[in-house]
Structure 1
């Protein structure tokens, strides 16, 4: 293949059979939109991932993405040996294109993200993540409530909070109050068998291998966060402490609540403690309570998130393994 890239060259073969791995190809036309791109347009990187990409899929994505942007270069890269190859496209745009990229990528059968910078796996970084429905598949308070047969009562309070009728702190205290009197023996099996989210273990292993620091900042409970910490070899965890008396829950939370603002403070504090460059900070979560933390990071990642969270996050993984976070950390930097 020539060093200059033309989308008409792509066909139904796998993309790796048509582009040399980790090599950036300049676009022949340089501009694939009839709409004029403003002079103050900034460089960004579109990342296509999540399936075995063919040249035809990439070509269809490019021709379908009818936006005021200029194309510069394209690159096929390997994020991890167990993941399909990803494709990165360097572009310039003066508008927010992330939703259009996600929608168009979905139409051609993959996932799409837009990166403003290119954080690097090989450089020490920081990942702070939510726990419930992010690092693990369940919401611990819901599972405790089910075991104690008070799920409907807890769910009613959760619904109020989700509807914006109740602040997170108030919601937490009210839900925990419903758990008063539950014996630890009833929930011990839950702590011992927390279901990790698919791919999170492999992701943490890969990040730790490259000197990254990992932490949980959760509105859940230390009892479970510490169990996840042991499984994933995390540096530290921040969560809420349930008061216990005579081996039973008292229905109270001890100390300050880990809320949205506290999560963001945790990220900034750990960034300073570990001396991490701002562009090497990541945060991921699934709920509105994670958005402040995600905004404080250089890259906020929605993980199978609520629609509002996916909409506001920098990037999103809506399907598949969390190992796919590596797609955002392994785009080769253009020379």
Structure 2
């Protein structure tokens, strides 16, 4: 079989039943079903790439993610992940803006930037300028409110346990990526650096801004350091500044993403959590770490 169709249900919301999987298997003319996690994830080997619209219809719009990958080379040696709204549930810049009393103004710019309506670097500078004068203690308060995305711990720990290199690459700030990387065990992290005067933010970041092109460069550099081709890499993100990185990776995933990023890859996770990235690679839940 040349392809594998992976079905993943969001935990605690929908149960992936044998009947649902059987309908899909009959539709695609698939081989023997493999259960990666009972009630949550199953895989069906296929000779041809299935029509995912028809698969969705066979699932009766149940809110189950259907993802098709080539059977060969599913497990990846590199993971490069965005941070905000991907590895953590929030946009940390928006949270800082709320601390500064400019939350609505900054959030509006963030939405337009992530949708690809604004050039990222300029939009970042504009938002950071609005943080001028914010006390550094606000970063710590924001960090205490920051939540890790469900499945992120398992994703990083499991891939590392199987020899993969993991990198956090964000258009956000190193103040947060350093903490997220340390908590989850990422091998490295890259982001923008907020500038301060020792007690307050000065409303600027170090140049050059880490933008979509820098994210793409990071993917290439991490792959080269690991000694693998881009085909052996997985990249995941949610916004417009992730397009180049996700497009270049052998397995590029749009995670609860903006339309512009969904258009850049066939792999869309719109319902499940980050455990889906492990199922996509063929890992059964029984070997998950974290």
TM-score by length of 1: 0.75
Distance of aligned partners of 1:104 and 1:185 in 2 relative to their CA distance in 1, 3 Å threshold: same
- 2:32 aligned with 1:74, yes or no? yes
- 2:227 aligned with 1:275, yes or no? yes
RMSD over aligned CA atoms reads 2.6
4+ long deviations beyond 6 Å: none
Contact 1:57 1:108 in 2 (8 A): no
Distance of aligned partners of 1:214 and 1:99 in 2 relative to their CA distance in 1, 3 Å threshold: farther
- 2:270 aligned with 1:314, yes or no? no
Q: Where do 1:86-235 residues align within 5 Å?
A: 86-93=42-49, 97-102=51-56, 104-105=58-59, 107-108=61-62, 110-121=64-75, 125-161=77-113, 164-235=116-187
Cα deviation digits, residues 183-238 of structure 1 (max 9, x gap): 10122122244210011012211111111111111110000000001001111111
Contact 1:118 1:331 in 2 (8 A): no
Cα deviation digits, residues 121-173 of structure 1 (max 9, x gap): 4xx61000000000000001100011111112213433543565531111001
Distance of aligned partners of 1:90 and 1:173 in 2 relative to their CA distance in 1, 3 Å threshold: same
Provide the secondary structure at the position in 2 that maps to 1:269: helix
What are structure 2's unaligned runs of at least 5 residues?
Answer: 285-290
Cα deviation digits, residues 104-127 of structure 1 (max 9, x gap): 546255321111354444xx6100
Number of the residue aligned with 2:24: 61
What are structure 1's unaligned runs of at least 5 residues?
Answer: 1-23, 25-42
TM-score by length of 2: 0.86
Q: Where do 1:257-268 residues align within 5 Å?
A: 257-268=209-220
Distance of aligned partners of 1:58 and 1:276 in 2 relative to their CA distance in 1, 3 Å threshold: same
Larger Rg: 1
Contact 1:118 1:329 in 2 (8 A): no
Number of the residue aligned with 2:287: none
